[in-house]
Every structure is written in C-alpha cells, then in structure tokens.
C-alpha cells in the first residue's frame, strides 16, 4: 500500500528536463477545454488561481511550473453584477487591455477556437497609473454572444463557456536592458570607443614593444599616442646634444 502511494506521488512530480511551452491552439483547444469540461489531468501543469488577488511579481512563485512564463487557470470575475467586463484590479495596481482580442484558429485555419487578449500591468490607480514591464495574455473560449468574435465558423466541439480563462504571465525586457545587451554583443570599432579609453589602450599596447635605442644609452618605451605628436619630436630635438662630425657623443672642447 505504501509502495503504491509513493508511486502516485512520484507521478505528480514533473519530469527532469520538462519545459512547458504550449502553443495558443494547445492552450485553448486542449487545456482550457478540459478545464471547462471538468476533465483534470493527472499532473498539475496549470494551477487554478485568482491572479487578481495578487500582484504580478508575486505570481511566479505560485505557479506550478515555468521559468520566464507562468500559466494559471483564472475565474473571470465580473466587475459589476450585470456586466460582462471582468474585474482586473489588484492590490498595487490594475491590468489594462491593449488593442482588440485576436482570434485563435484551429490547425486547419478555418474555425475560431478561442480568443487572445493582451494586457499590461499599471501601478497605482486608473487616473495616475504607471506602466510596468509585466504583461499578460488572457486566453478564453469563444461565445456566441461575444461582440469581439470574428465572423468565422466556431468549432462546435468547444464548449461555449467563458467562466474560466488561462492567463500567461511574463515580464517584458526593459528598453534599457535591451540597449545594453545589443551594445555588448554588437560590433565595436575604435571610432566608437571613448577618446580617453582609446588612449589608455594604445599606451598599454605600446608598452609591449621595445624601441630602438642608441649604443650608449637605453631609451624608455614611448606610447604610440605621443609618437603622433609633433610637439614630442620638437621637444626631443631641443634636448638632443650637439655631436661632433667623428660621431663622438661628447661636446667639442
């Protein structure tokens, strides 16, 4: 009996290396459909949760699985009793829809099997909300009375029930992070390097080379940046002692 119980528990653990990346069609045509038909899976891949009772940054740790995207079965609570508009207000802000609902078609491409809505999370209240990088895709099944439904045939095998939705939560990379990433991986040339940095790099490079010196004295390695200076050569000419015609380095007596 205990052995059988241990086997049942092991089946509830996700397999190592498993990644949950369903397509839009799979989300509405399989997972959401089974949820509404009350046909649960043996493994909980999508947790049932009222996400609007939490702020988006608290949701990843509440999900059953996911690394950069987190999925939830969420009841579509109404904002008002006689309204079809759901309530999307949380403790720290609210979710705001962007654009219109997009239809999700079957593999054949002829029947609408679901609708997809994009939303952005704003901190604060509606009048003075501050946009964040948290985003959500809400998937729901089509309804015959839905005004956003496209004028295409609806798959009759999909139950007309919009009491539940699947919500995909993720955080969009900030624009500053994207610029930093593109700069670090993009091609660089000396023209794009700061002048002070370029001069320092040239000095370091020049220190690895030895310049020719006279037989009687050793010269110190000269940075490349100074070799390009006319002022340096003029300075050296003034410091150079007068030599005799026989090649002596001592001044004539």
Q: Are 163 and 77 in contact (CB under 8 A)?
A: no
Q: Are 195 and 56 in contact (CB under 8 A)?
A: no
128 and 19 together in one domain: yes
167 and 208 together in one domain: no
Between CA 225 and CA 234 the distance in angstroms is: 15
pLDDT tens track of the chain, all 253 residues? 455 555 455 455 667 888 899 999 999 999 999 999 889 888 899 999 999 999 999 999 999 988 899 999 998 766 555 555 678 999 999 999 998 999 999 888 778 999 999 999 999 998 889 999 999 999 999 876 555 555 555 555 555 577 899 999 999 987 665 666 565 555 554 444 455 555 655 665 555 444 444 444 444 444 544 544 455 445 555 555 554 444 444 444 4
Between CA 166 and CA 4 the distance in angstroms is: 33
Domain span at residue 49?
A: 7-173
142 and 207 together in one domain: no
59 and 90 together in one domain: yes
How would you classify residue 66: left for phi > 0, otherwise alpha for psi between -120 and 50, otherwise beta?
left
213 and 139 together in one domain: no
Indicate the SS3 state at residue 171. strand
Q: Which residue has the tokens 């050793």?
A: 218
46 and 140 together in one domain: yes
The verdict on pTM exceeding 0.75 is no
In a domain, 64, yes or no: yes
13 and 87 together in one domain: yes
In a domain, 40, yes or no: yes
232 and 150 together in one domain: no
How many structural domains is the chain composed of? 2
Domain CATH number, residue 65: 2.170.150.80
């Amino acid at each position: 009996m205990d052995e059988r119980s241990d086997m049942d528990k092991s089946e509830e653990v996700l397999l190592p290396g498993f990644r949950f990346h369903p397509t839009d069609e799979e989300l509405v045509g399989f997972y959401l459909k089974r949820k509404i038909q009350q046909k649960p899976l043996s493994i909980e891949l999508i947790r049932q949760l009222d996400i609007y009772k939490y702020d988006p940054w608290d949701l990843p740790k509440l999900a059953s699985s996911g690394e950069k995207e987190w999925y939830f079965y969420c009841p579509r609570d109404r904002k008002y009793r006689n309204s079809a508009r759901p309530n999307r207000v949380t403790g720290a802000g609210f979710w705001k829809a962007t654009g219109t609902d997009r239809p999700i078609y079957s593999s054949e491409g002829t029947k609408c099997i679901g609708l997809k809505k994009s939303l952005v999370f704003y901190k604060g209240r509606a009048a003075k909300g501050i946009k964040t990088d948290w985003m959500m895709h809400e998937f729901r099944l089509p309804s015959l009375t839905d005004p956003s439904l496209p004028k295409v045939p609806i798959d009759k095998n999909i139950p007309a029930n919009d009491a539940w939705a699947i919500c995909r939560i993720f955080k969009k990379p900030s624009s500053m992070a994207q610029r930093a990433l593109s700069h670090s991986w993009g091609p660089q040339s000396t023209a794009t390097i700061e002048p002070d940095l370029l001069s320092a790099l040239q000095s370091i490079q020049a220190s690895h080379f030895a310049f020719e010196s006279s037989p009687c004295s050793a010269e110190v390695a000269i940075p490349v940046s100074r070799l390009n200076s006319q002022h340096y050569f003029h300075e050296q000419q003034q410091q150079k002692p007068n030599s005799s015609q026989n090649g002596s380095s001592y001044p004539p007596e």
